[in-house]
Structure 1
Amino acid sequence: MVIKVILTLLLGVGILFANPKSVDYQIISLLGVQDYKINQKLIQRLFKNPLEFMDEVGNPNIYKISQVLKQNGLLKLAFASPMELEVSFEIAGNPMAFTSALYDILGTMGYYYFFVKQSVLDNYSYKFVLSMNTEYAIDPILLQERLKEYGYMALKIEKQSLNQWVYEIKESNFQYPKAILLNPNEEKEQANLSGEYWYQVSQGNTLGIVSSNAILWYPKIVFFDSNLRVLEIFFQEKAVQAIKVKIPKNAVFIKISDIYLPLTIKSGLMVELN
């Protein structure tokens, strides 16, 4: 009995001082110390060749590790009953671009109701905590996949408890997949039930916009740079069916909606870049 206690204590000390760049350390971060101890033999079999779980620069591949843990039933995400979930994010980069991308992603994952519980912005990073009432923790595998589509990757994922998680995020090359790429002299037509339309441009001077079914609307057009910083906001309080606007310098993303009621143009827009 005494030997068993000593071994348990030694294991705890070993975990505490594990190398942060080791595969074991990342597994512990994802599972927590207790679940790691309980499932240590299975984990050793699954990760017997740790080099298979390192990326090209020699760091643990968090996505691959979390995938294996989930596939083998080790990654616990479900709660016994609905409770508050707190998820902390830290990003060294443009906070506006990341939060916009993150909120889009959470919406596609079924998390619509959440609020910022705490936030700190300094010269180096933006840290904030999201709080929501839910039955499940956010799936770290799915979240990593969606973040990658926007040009982000997770440097660290830590489960502090079943309902408290920490993500450290790095921006590699920001993208906005909801924005439709416009090419010069090419018409694009689409409908959106929300009445909000996103486009991406790399050239061109003007943008022509025509509402479908000759609907009258009140244009609101926001131009953003490559990091989703607002460059210019154009709006018109006179109802129109068609309009042409000049694209400001350095504009990359464009959001089009209606000043008063975006649903007015849910049936569609025809746009042309010139």
Structure 2
Amino acid sequence: MRLVLLITAFYFCLSADALDTKIKSLMDHTFYQTNKNFIQRVFSHKKAFYEQGTLQIQKVINALKENGLLPLKFKKPSSLRVHFEAKTSPLLLLKTIRGVLSSMGYAYFPILEVTHNQDDSSATFALTTEYALDPTLLAKLFAKQGFTLLDLKRNSLKDWSYTFQVNTPKLAHATLIIPVNDGIELKEISGVYWLDMTDSGKLIIAANDKEWQPQVSFFDATLHMLNYTATDTPTEKISLDITDKVRFVRVSDVNNPLVLKGGIKVWLEPIKR
């Protein structure tokens, strides 16, 4: 019995250290010391910030933000460096980051570096701003795209690193395609269309322009390209077989995407069994 109590006490001691270490890492030393007593009250129920022994970073940053304990403001507009990483393809990571940053109101965010090693991808961006990104908002927006925040590191007020787990990814501005009798009419001024396939079957795409030269790419759930088809022969309609490995389809024109700015119509016919 005594051994069990000692092991339990040791476990909670480690848990407390992990939580305390993470809290301290998300603010500078002076701010922590000034607010130390308040921070201890906010996080007095340490068990609430763990699930099956794993620290839940989302709960930690939410508690910090709600209690005014997550300083993000710069003294003046400065360059902010933000690093993102996840086990997925670079293309999916980049498209997700760009979609999230755009929805937060950022129009210009140059890429400093992109790396890919086996299953791991990372990307580093620079932004000119008066604040560090709100991690609570960022986590919520990434969650809408199927990304779960695993860890957050504050290297400095102007340098942050995010680590995500990819569950069921979604693409911003991708149209969900389900088997229906009537086609779905789409219009995208860029002439580039992303389709989110819910099922296998025969995909039929009809263009509103007779000069369409189809360019269609097929991707899996992590945006690894599976196949690609293109033709220089103008047509108004094409029919493509969609296997159960395909999750996303990109539709455009070989030479000029603007050919499709007038719109397309899409059908997915289910496989007859």
TM-score range, shorter chain: 0.7 to 0.9
Aligned twin of 2:39: 43
Aligned with 1:256: secondary structure?
A: strand
Distance 1:219 1:118 in 2: 32
Residue 174 of structure 2 is aligned with which of 179, 182, 190? 179
Aligned twin of 1:9: none
Contact 2:90 2:114 in 1 (8 A): no
Distance 1:105 1:224 in 2: 21
Identity %: 30
Task: Report the Cα offset of residue 224 of structure 1.
Answer: 0.7
Residue 211 of structure 1 is aligned with which of 202, 207, 212? 207
Distance 1:120 1:269, change over 3 A: closer
Taking structure 2 as the reference length, what is the TM-score of the superposition? 0.80
Task: Report the Cα offset of residue 20 of structure 1.
Answer: 8.3
Task: Report the Cα offset of residue 192 of structure 1.
Answer: 2.6
Task: Report the Cα offset of residue 231 of structure 1.
Answer: 1.6
Unaligned ranges ≥5, structure 1: 1-17
Task: Report the Cα offset of residue 152 of structure 1.
Answer: 1.8
Aligned twin of 1:253: 248
Task: Report the Cα offset of residue 165 of structure 1.
Answer: 0.5
Residue 141 of structure 2 is aligned with which of 146, 149, 164? 146
Distance 1:139 1:215 in 2: 47
Unaligned ranges ≥5, structure 2: 1-13
Distance 1:171 1:33, change over 3 A: farther
Distance 1:111 1:23 in 2: 32
Aligned with 1:42: secondary structure?
A: helix
Q: Give 1:203's aligned amino acid.
A: D
Residue 96 of structure 1 is aligned with which of 64, 67, 91? 91
Aligned twin of 1:11: none
Distance 1:266 1:167, change over 3 A: same
Aligned with 1:22: secondary structure?
A: helix
Residue 111 of structure 1 is aligned with which of 106, 113, 121? 106
Distance 2:247 2:54 in 1: 33
Aligned twin of 2:48: 52
Aligned twin of 1:3: none
Aligned twin of 2:230: 235
String of CA shifts for 1:233-266, please: whole Å, max 9, x gaps.
2233344433333436722211112334434433
Distance 2:210 2:19 in 1: 58
Distance 1:125 1:201 in 2: 25
Contact 1:21 1:60 in 2 (8 A): no
Aligned with 2:68: secondary structure?
A: coil
Q: Give 2:240's aligned amino acid.
A: V
Alignment root-mean-square deviation, CA: 2.7
Distance 1:124 1:216, change over 3 A: closer
Residue 30 of structure 2 is aligned with which of 31, 34, 37? 34
Residue 165 of structure 2 is aligned with which of 167, 170, 181? 170
